[in-house]
Each structure stands twice: as structure tokens, then as C-alpha cells.
Amino acid sequence: MLAEIGLVTIFLAFVAAVYATGAAVLGGQRGSERLVISARNAAIAVFPLLLIATAAMLIALIQQQYQLTYVASVTDPATPLFYRITALWGAQKGSLLFWSVLMSAFTAAAIAMNWRSNHRLMPYVIAYSSAVMAFFIGLVFFFEHPFDRWWWVNSPEGIRAIESMFIPAGAITPPYEWLATEKAHGLNPLLRHFGMIIHPPMLYLGFVGFTIPFAFAMAALASGDLSTNWIKATRRWTLISWIFLTLGLILGGRWAYDVLGWGGYWGWDPVENAAFLPWLIGTAFLHSVMMQEKRGILKVWNMFLVIGTFSAVMFGTFATRSGLIDSVHAFARSPVGMPMFLFWAAITLISIGLILYRWNRGELKDEHQYFDFSQRGNLKVLFSREVLFVFNNIVFVALFVVIFWGSFGAPVITELFLGEEITLGSQYFLQVTPPLFAVMYILMGIAPLSAWGVTSMVRLGRSLVVPLILTAVFMIVFVLGGMASPLALFAYFIVSLAGFVALYEIYRGAAARRTSLNEDWLTALRAVFGRNRRRYGGYIVHLGVTVVGIGVIGSTMFQQETTRTLGRGEVMDFGNYSMRYDHFTEAIAEDGRQMEIADVTVFQQGQEVARLRPRFDVYPDMPMTIAGAHSTLEADYYVLLSGWVEQGRLATFKVYINPLVNLIWWGSLILMLGTFIAAWPAQQVEYTPARAPVAARRQEASA
Amino acid sequence: MKMATNQRIAGIRWGARLCARIVIVWAFCIWVVQLSIASAQEPITTPEPGAVVDTSAVSDDAVNAVAASLYCPVCENIPLDVCPTEACIQWREEIRIQLAEGQSEQQIITNFVDRYGDRVVGVPEDPLLRGLSLITPWLIGAVVLVAGVSILIRWRRGQRGTLATTTGTVSTLDDEASYRARLESDLIKRR
């Protein structure tokens, strides 16, 4: 029954999305409001339809209906309820359905909320977003049926089990016992972690969210309404998607740190990079969009960035779901590879074609001259906010290019044309990306202090004095703390300067109010954030990125590791910690995995600071090392159990000291807070209200 | 109309020539890098096979230092020093033996690459592949930078004639006094 419900609703959703696309295009061309309204209703209807299908799948997962092949592939009778629910996105078929329902939710919300305010763009927004939805629902319906079932069919050789969406002739439902014992597999053990449970939904929300800015940009290009309307309508959607994508990336890092057992959080794995690439372009867009709003320039460039972000999302989805690059995340080589590749290529080519068409017609001309080189020397112009923003964009795009090349470009090209498989690992990325990140942080330190148009060196220098002094004090603390590496000091310098500039700007804003309006600090701060959420929220984001940066530098440049074999009761010294190996236990967990657990006690200066239980879990064919970690703000003492002999008479430990790694997680929280402030809807007290009374007065006068 | 078409054809030709030049520079850089890497590589000396070596003097840390720059052949993209699979444990033992035999880190890596191909290292050892991998991103960066600078220069040239019209848009917000003034006026407007 659930399978039928799922099938029918997915099919109806597909029809609705296709219809919405067609009706919206026709309605837009003919100027028929009725058709556009019909398209809107169809596009919004996709969401409840897919919601029913998803609910059917969830019920099947919870009720253990193993006749559904998907349910059997991700759960078994031993799976706890929590993982039954999260199994919805535990493998390709379910996660595509989940992806589609999230996309339809975003689309419905964006259409409903912008229906009045951006009416002119609507037919094309509906058309593009519905076309993207139709593609993904089509993938679910035609290529990755989540509602396939197991059937028993009588054949000359006896009973045969087959997978099919519909009931084959003469087939019977297999007995539950057979399904539960023969066909049901638990969820991939690596995915049984809190970070892994939330990471995919966050990432998907981030990914599908970028459909909305894309649809608006394409609508602007298609309709010819190239004013800043589309930018205004999409900025918040972009920011919301960006929050989710950022959260997804961070949770993924946290998951890797806790579960993958290699002492790090970012391995430059192609699949990680696939999610990072849209983030880079999206971040570039969030910055350059200000140029278009405030100065009316960089219109073509913004179009490229929006389309680039969506294209990167589609490419990442294609690369990870098609098995283009194998890794931990790429859970399936599947039949969706070719359709996804074609869709990605088509979307990208059509978008670029449309931009070039409008550009050629001169419709994307800038409203202002870019830079005023006329007066007061060129250097001032070089430090204008416009130029610095352009540099910021160049840096993000350059990061995109080198990371794309390392993850996909070089490996694919060498395999295709030179017949040689290569891996570009962290050695490559740590050679090419640090200089670019350094420039990014330097720009983060200067750009907020620059002015539109021209910035004189004297003024820039004057506003840099306080942050520079603070940074210098910070550096002295580092040097006194024993930091001797000039490279690390340079890195800390540019990163913390960016943070102090953000803090100083917030202080300046509040101080100006305090002196002019006699407010106390708290009121002034609240008012500053309330009046210009975007700007000051942005500074908080910069502050978060600074804290993350300090954590990354510390844990990358000063990570220490060692491997030691200890007998019971033996103590090892490492860094300013010592660790005693106490016990060894073997156990079998509820879900059937064999666990080898070592008990260790960690000391610092003779004082016991933590008892840790690093574990080695073995599933039938998948080993997993679960770290034990003693976390402080200063460093993580991170222990892995990597081997043992004779029931733990001797145990081998791999120990990492990761300095400042927790700042990454704390910085991420600050970053989130800043993004929420920036995305929070502002009170509508802009400059416009003055107009209405005037018009009203005129009406009164004429009446 | 005809002129426009001619101009367009000239533009396309110019673009094609530029692309060709970039590709030539790209190929040349890779070739130079390849030559320099190839000449720097030492010949490999393989020790006598069959001899049993004592590996007890080789610490796990020494093994992992070498393994960190190798990649497991089974689980793609996981560095060898942290991979828990059986195959990787064997590879690490092999590294231990080779270290005990007195081979250098580079010799061991070269040995693995010879047997399993360039996919087992983080950056290919093969001079051509190495050049291709490392040169290309920098070249793309250089092209982007040159393009950016040339566009800046073109704007500058194009603007010399139309300066007077734009001066009104220049703001100097960062000045403390004017900043405060502007803030106050904004506040008054919004109250």
C-alpha cells in the first residue's frame, strides 16, 4: 500500500512540475495571468505531493517493511528507531527523494513569498525552478525508484526473487522472515554518527537552496527585467542557503574528526571539495552582490557567479552521486550519472548563452563608471572598496579554480587523455591554497575600512592604527607563549588583523552613536546591529572566520603525532601530557559489531585530566577507529587504538595533539550567529514611507 | 553591418590566437618542469632480495612519516598512515622492512609508484603529470590576473574622456567626522 502511495504521488509530482514549467513559459510569453497562476499552483502542489511520498517511505522504514528494497538496503531488525528515520538519506534512492522534497519546499516558499513583490519575474522563476524539480523528480521516478519491491516468482528452476516496482505476473510477496534475514542490511556503520545524521540534510538544504537565486537570475535574463529586483529578492535566499551549506561543511568536518580516525577534519577529499566549491562561488557572490546593489556595477559578473554557484552544486551532485570519483562519501555508482551530466552541461550552457545574449544587446551595462582614476592619484583608487571587492572575487574564483583542478580537472584529464590514474592529495592543496587564503585574510582586514570610490592611504592607515596595535599585542602574547615560526606568526598576524578590524568597526559604530546620542554601550550596540544588520552581521561573520582561521593554522602547522605500543599499566609521555594504558575490553554491541576498547588515563603535570576509551569497531567487513579525545580550548589530546596483541597485553596507540582545534568549532558558531544577524529580516522603515502620504495628499486634494 | 561582422571575425581570430599562445606557454612550462624534475631524480637502487632484515629498530613514527605521503590503493584518497584496512597494514609493514634495509623515504615512495602507479602519491612523481598538475593552476591564475589588470587599464583609458560626469559619486566615508555626520543624518531620517 505504501509503495503504491509513494509511486502515485511521485508520478503526480513529476507531472505537476513538468506542467508548471510549460504553463509558466507559455503564460509568460502570452502574458496570460491565468496560465501563470495555474503554473504557480502546480509548482507549489509538488511540495505536498512529495511530502506524502516521503512520509510513505518514512512509515515503511519505521514499520520495517523490508519488501521495499530500499528499506532492506539501509535497515535491518537490529537498527534502532533513530537510525531508521535517518536511513531516509542513508543511500542514493532515499536521499534523492529527500533532496527533491527539500527542493520543492524551497521552491514553494520562494514562489509564495515573492509572488506579489516580484510579479514580473514570476513566470520565469516558476519555469526554471520547476524544470530543475522536474529533472530531479524524474531521476527518482525513472532511474532510482525508491519504491521497488522484492517479489517471489515461480520459475522452472524453483522460486526466484526479483526486484520490481510493479507486481510481476504470478508473483507473491516473500515471507517476512526471509526478507528480514536474507535481504535486510543495516545502515553503513560510518554513517551512524550524529554529525552524519545532520550533515546531509544541511548540505542538501544548502545545495537545493541555491536553486532559488539561480531561478531568479535566469528569470531576470529571460524576462529582460535586469534591474536590481532579482538581486534584492534573492539575497536572503542566498544567505539562507549559504548558512545551511556552511553548517553542512562544518558538521561534515566534525564527523570526519570524530569517526574517520585520522586526527583531522578536512582531508581535501574530492567529495568534500565538491561541497566546498559552491561555497566559494556563493561567498564571492554574497560579496559582489553589494557592488550591484550599492553601485549598480558588476552585473554580468554577478550573473556568472549565481549561475556558477548553481552549476557547481549540480556538478558536485553529479560527481558524488555518479561515482565519478570514488571515496567514502560516494555511496553509489549508479545509472544517474549520464542524465545528471547532461543536465549539468545543458543548464550551464543555456545559462551562459543567455548571459552572452543579454550582454551583447547591451542590457547588462553598468550604471556607473567603475573607478574614478581622475583625481588624487591611482593608489587611492586601488584601495577603494570597489577594487578590493574585485580582488576578493578574484581570490575566491582562484581558490575555486585550483581546488576544482586538483579534485576533478587533473585526475579526469590524465585518466581520459593519458590513461593514468592520479591522486592529488593534501600535499597538492597545501601547496596551492595557502597563498590564496592569505590574500583573502589580508583583504578581510583592509576592505571593511575602505570607502566607495577612493580611499586615501592616510585615512586607511589612520583607521588601521588601532587594529594594528591590538594585533601586535596579540602577536607578543604568541611570541611569549613560545611561538618561534615566522611563517606561523605571519599567518596569525594577517588572520587576527582581520578579526580586530571587524571588532574595531563594530566599536566605531557604537561609539559614534554613544557620543552623538548619549546612549549607553548596550543600547548603542543593539541599535548599530538593528539599523544595519547586514553590515554588522557581516563583521561578526568575519570574526567567526578569523577564529576558525586561528584554529586551522594551529591544528595544521603544529599538529604533533606519535605511535607507541604500551603494556598494561605502562605510561607514555608526549607533548606536555602523559598517558597510562589501564584496561582492555572486548564487547559486542547491540547492532552486532565487535568492539575492542582500551581504557587510558591522561595526565598533565602529574594531575589526572581525563579517562578516555579509544575504540576499534569491526563490522563484518568494515573496521572503524573511534577516537577518545580530551578537549580543551588550548588543544585536543586525541587517542586512537590502532592495534593490539593477546587480548590487549600490548596495545598500540596513535596519539595526536591538535592545538587550537576547538577554535574551529567555536568560530563556526560565531560565524553562524553573524549570518543569522545578517539574514534576519530588517524592519521595513526604509526611506520610502515619505512618498505614500504625498500621493495620498494629492489624491485628497484632487478629490 | 558588414563592418561589425568583420570586427567580430577579427575578434574571434584574436581570441583564438591568444588561446593558442596560452596553450603553447602552458605546454612549454610543463615541459621545462618535467625536464628539471626528471634530471633531479636519483636512480633507484634495489637491495638484494631474500635477505631477512631486523625491523625492530624502525619505529612506528618513522614508518608513518613515509606512509603519510602515500595513498592507500583500495580506499581511495585516504592517506596510508591513517588507513585501518588490512591492505594498508601490510603496506606499512613493507615500508618498515624497506626502512630497515636502509632505503631513503624518496626511494621507498619511488618504489611504490613504480609498482602501483602515480595514484598512490599525493602529487604524481611522473615528471609530466607532476608538471601538468602543479603548473596549470598557477597558469590559470596568471591568465586571470593579466586579464584583470588589462581590463583595469582599458577602463582607465576609456574613462579619461568622461571624467567630469563621475566625480559626484565619490564618497569618503571613512573620515571620522563625515562618518559621524552621515550617521547622524541617517538617524534623523529614520526616526
Asked if pLDDT for residue A106 goes beyond 80, the answer is yes
Asked if pLDDT for residue A578 goes beyond 60, the answer is yes
The pLDDT value given to residue A100: 95
Residue among B175, B163, B148, B162 at smallest CA distance from A388: B148
A441 vs B148, more confident = A441
| B contacts of A400 (beta carbons < 8 Å) | none
A448 vs B161, more confident = A448
Task: Mark out the alpha helices in A63-91 (DSSP H runs).
Answer: 69-74, 81-86
Distance CA A637, CA A655 (A): 7
Q: Provide the terminal-to-terminal Cα distance of chain B, rounded to the nearest Å.
A: 57
Residue among A283, A65, A28 at smallest CA distance from A173: A65
C-alpha cell recorded at residue A232: 534584492
pLDDT tens profile B100-116: 888 888 888 888 888 88
Which of A403, A412, A423 to mutate to probe the B interface, most B CBs <10 Å?
A: A423
pLDDT tens profile B117-161: 888 888 888 888 888 888 888 888 788 778 777 766 666 565 554
Residue among A120, A111, A97 at smallest CA distance from A49: A97
B167 — pLDDT class (breaks 50, 70, 90): very low
Whether residue A451 and residue B123 make contact (CB cut-off 8 A), yes or no, is no
Distance CA A176, CA A171 (A): 15
Q: Is A517 on the interface with B (CB under 8 A)?
A: yes
Which residues of A, range 623-682, sit inside 8 Å of B by Cβ?
623-625, 642, 652, 654
List CB contacts of A601: < 8 A, sequence separation 6 or more.
Answer: A579, A580, A582, A608, A610, A611, A612
| B contacts of A562 (beta carbons < 8 Å) | 60-61
Q: Is B76 on the interface with A (CB under 8 A)?
A: yes
| Closest alpha carbon within chain A to B123 | A424
The pLDDT value given to residue B156: 58
**CB nearest to A421's CB, from B117, B134, B160:** B117
**CB nearest to A270's CB, from B77, B120, B179:** B77
Which residues of B, range 117-176, sit inside 8 Å of A by Cβ?
117-124, 126, 128-129, 132-134, 136-138, 140-141, 144-145, 148, 152, 155-156, 159-160, 162-163, 165-167, 169-175
How many Cβ atoms from other residues are within 10 Å of residue A365's Cβ?
12
**CB nearest to A563's CB, from B64, B77, B128:** B64
C-alpha cell recorded at residue B70: 602515500
| Closest alpha carbon within chain B to A272 | B77
C-alpha cell recorded at residue A434: 595557502
Distance of CA A301 to the CA centre of its chain: 22
Judged by average pLDDT, the poorest of A276-280, A607-611, A646-650 is: A646-650
> β-strands A577-588, A628-631: how paired?
unpaired
Kindly state the average pLDDT of the residues A249-265: 85
Taking CA atoms, B69 is separated from A561, B75, B105, in Å, by 15, 15, 10
The pLDDT value given to residue A666: 94
Which of B7, B58, B113, B174 to mutate to probe the A interface, most A CBs <10 Å?
A: B174
A22 and A6 Cβ atoms separated by less than 8 Å? no
Distance CA B17, CA A401 (A): 23
Asked if pLDDT for residue A691 goes beyond 50, the answer is no
* The amino acid at A591: D
The pLDDT value given to residue A389: 87
Tell me how close the Cα of A479 comes to any Cα of chain B, in angstroms.
28
Question: For B43-125, CATH number?
Answer: 1.10.8.640
Kindly state the average pLDDT of the residues A196-213: 88
Which of B170, B171, B178 to mutate to probe the A interface, most A CBs <10 Å?
A: B170
- Residue A469 burial by Cβ neighbours in a 10 Å radius (0-12, 13-18, 19+): exposed
Kindly state the average pLDDT of the residues A456-471: 86
**CB nearest to B190's CB, from A401, A420, A685:** A685
Whether residue B60 and residue A328 make contact (CB cut-off 8 A), yes or no, is no
Residue among B47, B144, B134 at smallest CA distance from B97: B47
Task: Give me the residue spans of the domains in chain B.
Answer: 1-40+129-160, 43-125
Asked if pLDDT for residue B169 goes beyond 50, the answer is no
CA dihedral sign, ordered A278, A279, A281, A282: positive
- Residue B1 burial by Cβ neighbours in a 10 Å radius (0-12, 13-18, 19+): exposed
Kindly state the average pLDDT of the residues A643-653: 86
Give the angle subtended at the CA of A683 by the CAs of A677 and A688, to the nearest 5°: 130
A494 — pLDDT class (breaks 50, 70, 90): very high
Distance CA A141, CA A103 (A): 16
pLDDT tens profile B71-82: 877 776 778 888
Whether residue A426 and residue B144 make contact (CB cut-off 8 A), yes or no, is no
Judged by average pLDDT, the poorest of A255-259, A433-437, B36-40, B158-162 is: B158-162
Asked if pLDDT for residue A31 goes beyond 80, the answer is yes
Tell me how close the Cα of B121 comes to any Cα of chain A, in angstroms.
6
Radius of gyration for the alpha carbons in chain A, expressed in angstroms and rounded? 28
Strands of A245-340, DSSP E: none
CA dihedral sign, ordered B159, B162, B168, B169: negative
List CB contacts of A388: < 8 A, sequence separation 6 or more.
Answer: A443, A446, A447, A450
Distance CA A2, CA A160 (A): 24
Distance CA A318, CA A637 (A): 38
Judged by average pLDDT, the poorest of A300-309, A355-364, A422-431 is: A355-364
| Closest alpha carbon within chain A to B165 | A369
Whether residue A413 and residue B132 make contact (CB cut-off 8 A), yes or no, is yes
pLDDT tens profile A38-48: 999 999 999 99
The pLDDT value given to residue A334: 64
A495 and A553 Cβ atoms separated by less than 8 Å? yes
Q: Is A369 on the interface with B (CB under 8 A)?
A: yes
The pLDDT value given to residue A136: 95
Q: Is B177 on the interface with A (CB under 8 A)?
A: no
pLDDT tens profile A505-551: 999 888 888 888 888 888 888 888 888 888 899 999 999 999 999 99
| B contacts of A428 (beta carbons < 8 Å) | 122-123, 133-134
Distance CA A451, CA B175 (A): 9
Residues in chain A, total: 703
Residue among A203, A70, A209, A214 at smallest CA distance from A145: A70
A72 and A147 Cβ atoms separated by less than 8 Å? no
Residue among A634, A639, A515, A518 at smallest CA distance from A574: A639
| Closest alpha carbon within chain A to B167 | A372
* The amino acid at A354: L
Distance CA A56, CA A65 (A): 11
Tell me how close the Cα of B78 comes to any Cα of chain A, in angstroms.
8
Task: Give me the residue spans of the domains in chain A.
Answer: 1-187, 457-552, 560-659
Distance CA A541, CA A242 (A): 12
Tell me how close the Cα of A176 comes to any Cα of chain B, in angstroms.
35
Q: Is B64 on the interface with A (CB under 8 A)?
A: yes
